[in-house]
Amino acid sequence: MEPAAPSGAKADTAPYDGPALDDEIRAVREEALASLPGLPAAAGSLEDGPCGELGSRVCGAPAMLPGEEWPEGPGGEPLCFLAQLDMADLPPLPGFPEKGLLRLFVGEGPEFGLDPSDMAAQAGFRALWAPDPEGAALRAAPEEAEDGLGWGDGPWAVRFGGPFPSRPEDFDARVQSAFAGLWNAAHPGLPVSGTQDVDRYASDRSLPLELAIQAGEEAGDPPAVQVGGYPSFVQADDRRSWEERYRRYDALLFQLSSDHGRYIEVGDGGRMYFFIPSENLAAGDFSDIMYWWDGM
Which phi and psi angles does 242 have, rounded to 5°? -65, -45
- The Cα–Cα gap between 149 and 59 comes to 9
Q: Which pLDDT does position 2 carry in this prediction?
A: 55
CATH number given to 22-294 = 2.30.320.10
Sign of the alpha-carbon dihedral angle for 258, 264, 266, 267: positive
Residue 32 pLDDT greater than 80, yes or no? yes
Q: Which pLDDT does position 9 carry in this prediction?
A: 46
Q: Percentages helix, strand, coil for the chain, rounded to the nearest 5?
A: 20, 25, 55
Average pLDDT in the 275-295 region?
A: 96
Which range is least confidently modeled, 15-19, 95-99, 200-204, 274-278?
A: 15-19
- The Cα–Cα gap between 182 and 27 comes to 10
Q: Where are the domains of the chain?
A: 22-294
Give the model confidence (pLDDT) of 88-145 as tens digits.
Answer: 999 999 999 999 999 999 998 889 999 999 999 999 999 999 999 999 999 999 887 7
Which range is least confidently modeled, 3-17, 184-198, 253-267, 271-285?
A: 3-17
Give the model confidence (pLDDT) of 156-176 as tens digits.
Answer: 999 999 899 999 999 999 999
Q: Convert 58-119 into a string of H (helix), E (strand) and C (coil).
A: ECCCCEECCCCCCCECCCCCECEEEEEEEHHHCCCCCCCCCCCEEEEEECCCCCCCCCCCCC
Smallest Cα–Cα separation from 100: which of 75, 126, 65, 73? 65
